Structures are given as C-alpha cells and as structure tokens.
A = this chain, B = another copy of it.
C-alpha cells in the first residue's frame, strides 16, 4: 500500500501537503489546462486588496539565475469583485480554498478578514504581510509593531483560520514569527519573495518598471529552508514552507526541516505540472524510505527534537 499523504494544517485537513504559493497559480475553467486544482492539498489564491488595483507598470518580470524577479504589484478586483469571483468560480472546487489578503493598514486587513472570513468558500485566510511590490514600500512583516497590529486586527475580526505570511527581508525571522504567533496567527507561512533588482546594461536602467522586485524560484530555496528550519524550532503553530521548491526533493527537505505543508510558486510557470510531480514524488520517497504517512517525516532533520 502506498503512503498516506493526508495531513493536518492546524484545523485544516489536507489530502496532501502541497499547495500553490499565492500569486503563482490560477484557474480558468473556460480555458482549462491539464491540471485540475482539486488535485492539490489546498488552493491559495492571489492576494486581494480592499480597493480595486491595477497593479504595477510593465515591465513586471525579469529572469535571473535559477529564478526570476516580479513586480506585479497586486492587481486586484477589490473586495466586491473578489467576492463575486470567489462565489462564482472558486466555490466550485472541492479542495480547501485559502484566500490571501493584502492591505495598507491594520483596519483594511480587518475589513478584508471580517468579510472574507464569512465566505463559506474560504477555508482559511493567508495574510500577506510581506509584498515587496507595493508603492508605499512599507512591509508590515518588517516592522515588529506594525506586524503585531496587523495580525491582531485580523485576529479580532475573524474566527477563521489565519496564516501569517512573512518576509525574508528581516534581521530576525524568528522574532517576526513569534510576534505573529503571539498576536494570534494559527499558522506561519514563509517566505515571500526577496527584494532584488536587475539592470539592463544597454538601456542603463533597471529592467523592472518599478525598479526593484521580488526574487523567487530555486535560487532562494536555501534561504527559505534556513528560515523555515529556524522558525519551526521557535513557534508552536504549524509552519508552511515556501521558496524555490521545484522538485519533490525540495518539498521533502522543507518537511524534514519541520514544515507541516509546502507551497509551490515560480516553478509552475516553467512546468505547470510541477505540483503534480511533487505530490507523486513525495509519495514515492515515503514508500521507498518505508514511511506510511507523510506526517512521519515532519521535522526529522531537526537536531533539536
């Protein structure tokens, strides 16, 4: 018998620990690909904001060694538009749907959380506290005070499960994770993309319209893995590992480091079947190593347990 991939992410029951990273997946039922979202442990949606937003001026993408920069800037239909799409499209999925919210103030986070926490389609809320591409440049997950305020505001606004998504651009990720936990987050998700820049040496200016962007993809995997390893040793709530996961081996490394689930982002752009391959690969690893459940390997590479 093949190993059991079912696992628990706080109060959420997942059929496997693999889900897309916010902003790195979508579903167009009328133009469907070879891959149905219901194969996934959960679906994490692109971040949404309270007001509609256009997103950043092009160029929004730049390729980098083993990765890419993006400066998308969260184009969003706003709360109302998003709610419609949620009800009309995402409600059709059987797998848990995690909505991601992004905001400019604790109050905005609270409104989004209160409204979306009520939606039956929303199994959990991911709080994007770490978008590197917004115009004011303030990243709540970089500021201990603002971070606490935002997470507390969300906590007060909803009973829904909340996941705090943190930024790697900090001196002490453990501090930020601990603040999120004590402010009421039910889970921690890390890492978001890392601030970066590419310059066009012929045009003599940054490639991205916005100057800087967020670095993602395999290049950042070792950075993400170190942070996940550290945070898993410091908080009690479950941790979702994300950053550069592109093969089953990578996902397994995050689980061994202590993550309860993983998110897969950039690699899906290159290989839209990557998540399916990762799910299959985890099962094969468990089988070949003689484990009966994916939960058996969580944290096995830790020296502190």
Residues of A within 8 A of B (CB): 62, 64-67, 69, 142, 169-172, 194-199, 201, 204-206, 211-212, 215, 217-223, 225-227, 229, 244, 246, 249, 252-253, 256-257, 285, 297, 300-301, 303
Instruction: Check B171–A218 contact: CB distance below 8 A.
Output: no
Instruction: Check B201–A222 contact: CB distance below 8 A.
Output: no
Partner of A253, one of B65, B142, B199: B199
The interface centre, meaning the residue of A142, A195, A285 with most chain B CB atoms within 10 A of its CB, is A195
* Bound form: Cα–Cα A142–B170 in Å: 10
Question: Given A66-B65, A169-B171, A171-B169, are A253 and B221 neighbors across the interface (CB < 8 Å)?
Answer: no
Can you offer 28 A-B residue contacts whose CB atoms are under 8 A?
Answer: A62-B222, A64-B221, A64-B222, A65-B219, A65-B221, A65-B246, A66-B66, A69-B222, A170-B170, A170-B171, A171-B171, A194-B223, A196-B225, A197-B225, A197-B257, A198-B222, A199-B225, A199-B253, A199-B256, A199-B257, A199-B301, A201-B256, A204-B297, A204-B301, A205-B301, A218-B219, A219-B219, A219-B220
A240 to chain B minimum Cβ distance, whole angstroms, is 17
* Bound form: Cα–Cα A244–B142 in Å: 25
* Bound form: Cα–Cα A125–B23 in Å: 45
* Bound form: Cα–Cα A206–B229 in Å: 10
Instruction: Check A201–B303 contact: CB distance below 8 A.
Output: no
Who on chain B is nearest to A198 by CB? B222
* Bound form: Cα–Cα A219–B246 in Å: 15
Who on chain B is nearest to A225 by CB? B197
Partner of A211, one of B67, B204, B219, B303: B303
The interface centre, meaning the residue of A169, A195, A197, A303 with most chain B CB atoms within 10 A of its CB, is A197
Instruction: Check B201–A249 contact: CB distance below 8 A.
Output: yes
A50 to chain B minimum Cβ distance, whole angstroms, is 26
Which residues from chain B contact A197 at a C-beta distance below 8 Å?
Answer: 222, 225-226, 229, 257
A297 to chain B minimum Cβ distance, whole angstroms, is 8
Question: Given A65-B244, A66-B65, are A225 and B201 neighbors across the interface (CB < 8 Å)?
Answer: no
Which residues from chain B contact A215 at a C-beta distance below 8 Å?
Answer: 222-223
Instruction: Check B223–A196 contact: CB distance below 8 A.
Output: yes
Instruction: Check B205–A222 contact: CB distance below 8 A.
Output: no
